[in-house]
Structure 1
């Protein structure tokens, strides 16, 4: 998912994109049927930080529970890697970052992203972007991890091309390899391999392969593949990419499923009656199912590796099912944006956002608010197998092969 830069051309392009994607449909059945919950989701608004922080540290307060975390993904986790690109997918301007201590950084949020919350729970500092780590005077900034995520990026290299510059997953892996070459001399090959084996590799890809590829009218993808064929294609590529990371030394993987997109403000804005679009979620459900199967397969076939699947779809669905239980009262529009549901055009520079951001589920046309991100991070870190399969991140950090 991605947001625009400042130019008039950007605004016009995003109007066209917002009006031209998947056709919204309304179904009479329940949109989010309740799953058999094991009560592992954080309970109530007190479990979500209000201003950039989870209030917890990993390792029982005795330091980080893992040496490092490396993040690969899209705008849900991007923390500034698109800032220096010629790209329409940027968030390095206010009001993005309005509740973040460092102000606008390139995060597509008013504050923390989900991986910021996870890093803090692991006892790690907030990770530098690949840009920051590459430009640092020393390699110290990369030793505890790097964030390679890029808004508009996907599993497929051609995903997100409407936004021009972005860093697809294949290139993010190459950037990680460059980082390894930079820090190998500092740690030595043996110590580097040991450190990587105990580090967390967070990967969250796939949203843009639907929103900014399969559902885009200027792509031919829907004419080439039906939904099942496309999900199979994506998972085939995904498997090879994760295996490449394994071959570079990764052993502990957190694989985030694609979250529910039926009710994001942009989808509501496309519907004449402002309703959700269940057909979008029905399209991504086979992908998530196959990704979970991929996790099982790789766990069986990659020696001394452990992959876990984070069910972002179910976690987002739970918040949308029971918003008041988590302190949210605004579910049908973004905090910052233009047009119906503040979702036709996403948050532009110096737009005035809603003042009561802690009550909103969605920050802009596509992305959650900080409070939702922190809730998701906590659930991924310490939730049960209904949310994190076959174990949670806290357990993965302590896992012994």
Structure 2
């Protein structure tokens, strides 16, 4: 076992009281949060912290790992393996969508789905595990009312499934209300089961990621933000999703005033990485891939991706925001988790006394 892992376990055991306010931690989402439900990766994935690939789409820990650590929980076990889930579980699945198969099949896009793991499917799996976690329904309601739920990121794969098959972005924009409705329904199902403290992240500014910057490159400088270098149209799609999501969460708060429903702002934080990388120690900037191989400023090539076909890994991963073209480094996840735990990117922050 690597020294870094042993140190993490030691520190967790020295601070067990930090999780006393929560019974458990439950996570839903896609590759931004999957801790091993889909094991598609191999080294150098996992190289920084674990020393081996765990299914995480990064060189090390994810945002959910840092949150679990800060709250005194063990790293969340993947729900599709045999574990004791009484302190929490991770239902996130790489490539998961918010919407179900039928939505994409009706639009001739189902061939772009890698997994059948929509939000509805993840919540169903959670329901099936509840008796082993907390017993009878009434006991579960009490248990879940004192647990923390992180629902997302959801939406990115719904849009990329269409974009990667050349669906015009104007048409993909029409998907957003459907995605938001499905996400709202999923949150409401969890509330019905007893969840009373829920964090719902928005989507990332995908126009800042090397995969999009490379595959959808245009020669027109007006297509790019002058401060960030990110593509305007794809970030506009993310912005629309987040704006409608925040309105939906406002409606849920009015409907369920006793439930804490908080928005987590990936978008603004990653834009800040792009504008002010040195503030976070990212000397390589935010738009350059660490693991990959590309003959362009983003170091990304769809045919030479991380862990495939003559890839290379940067000398110092901690100086990079982007890991493999679409996922982030452990260093970026640590900075994001800090913004959620202490503010300002979750309001009130997870560790705020207002939530104790």
**Could you state the TM-score of these two structures normalised by the residue count of structure 2?**
0.83
2: CA distance between counterparts of 1:307 and 1:193?
17
Cα-to-partner distance string for 1:353-389 (whole Å, 9 max, x where unaligned): 11210111100010110000011011011103xx223
Give the 3-state SS of the residue equivalent to 1:192 in structure 2: helix
Match of 1:347 in 2: 306
> Contact between 1:202 and 1:254, CA under 8 Å: does it hold in 2?
yes
Match of 1:338 in 2: 293
With over 3 angstroms needed to count, the CA separation of the structure-2 counterparts of 1:351 and 1:383, relative to structure 1, is same
2: CA distance between counterparts of 1:55 and 1:238?
37
Tell me if 1:181 matches 2:124.
no
1: CA distance between counterparts of 2:196 and 2:13?
19
- TM-align CA RMSD: 2.7
2: CA distance between counterparts of 1:54 and 1:372?
21
Match of 2:140 in 1: 192
Residue 181 (structure 1) shift: 2.6
Give the 3-state SS of the residue equivalent to 2:198 in structure 1: strand
Match of 1:121 in 2: 70
Give the 3-state SS of the residue equivalent to 1:325 in structure 2: helix
Match 1:321 to one of 257, 265, 275:
275
Query: Unpaired segments of 5 or more residues in structure 2?
Result: 105-109
With over 3 angstroms needed to count, the CA separation of the structure-2 counterparts of 1:73 and 1:261, relative to structure 1, is same
With over 3 angstroms needed to count, the CA separation of the structure-2 counterparts of 1:172 and 1:59, relative to structure 1, is farther
Give the 3-state SS of the residue equivalent to 1:67 in structure 2: coil
With over 3 angstroms needed to count, the CA separation of the structure-2 counterparts of 1:56 and 1:281, relative to structure 1, is farther
> Contact between 2:100 and 2:116, CA under 8 Å: does it hold in 1?
no
Tell me if 1:146 matches 2:89.
yes
With over 3 angstroms needed to count, the CA separation of the structure-2 counterparts of 1:101 and 1:60, relative to structure 1, is closer
2: CA distance between counterparts of 1:378 and 1:305?
23
Query: Unpaired segments of 5 or more residues in structure 1?
Result: 1-50, 84-89
Which sits farther off after the overlay, 108-117 or 266-275?
Answer: 266-275
Residue 59 (structure 1) shift: 11
Match 1:388 to one of 346, 350, 353:
346
Residue 190 (structure 1) shift: 4.1
Tell me if 1:156 matches 2:99.
yes
With over 3 angstroms needed to count, the CA separation of the structure-2 counterparts of 1:303 and 1:58, relative to structure 1, is farther
With over 3 angstroms needed to count, the CA separation of the structure-2 counterparts of 1:78 and 1:397, relative to structure 1, is farther
> Contact between 2:96 and 2:118, CA under 8 Å: does it hold in 1?
yes
Residue 338 (structure 1) shift: 3.1
Match of 1:131 in 2: 80
2: CA distance between counterparts of 1:226 and 1:383?
32
2: CA distance between counterparts of 1:324 and 1:162?
37
Match of 2:186 in 1: 241
**Could you state the TM-score of these two structures normalised by the residue count of structure 1?**
0.75
Match 1:287 to one of 241, 266, 285:
241
2: CA distance between counterparts of 1:72 and 1:175?
11
Give the 3-state SS of the residue equivalent to 1:334 in structure 2: coil
Cα-to-partner distance string for 1:7-57 (whole Å, 9 max, x where unaligned): xxxxxxxxxxxxxxxxxxxxxxxxxxxxxxxxxxxxxxxxxxxx7769986
Cα-to-partner distance string for 1:91-148 (whole Å, 9 max, x where unaligned): 2x1110001226211000000101111111111110000123xx23xxxx20111001
Tell me if 1:62 matches 2:11.
no
Match of 1:365 in 2: 325
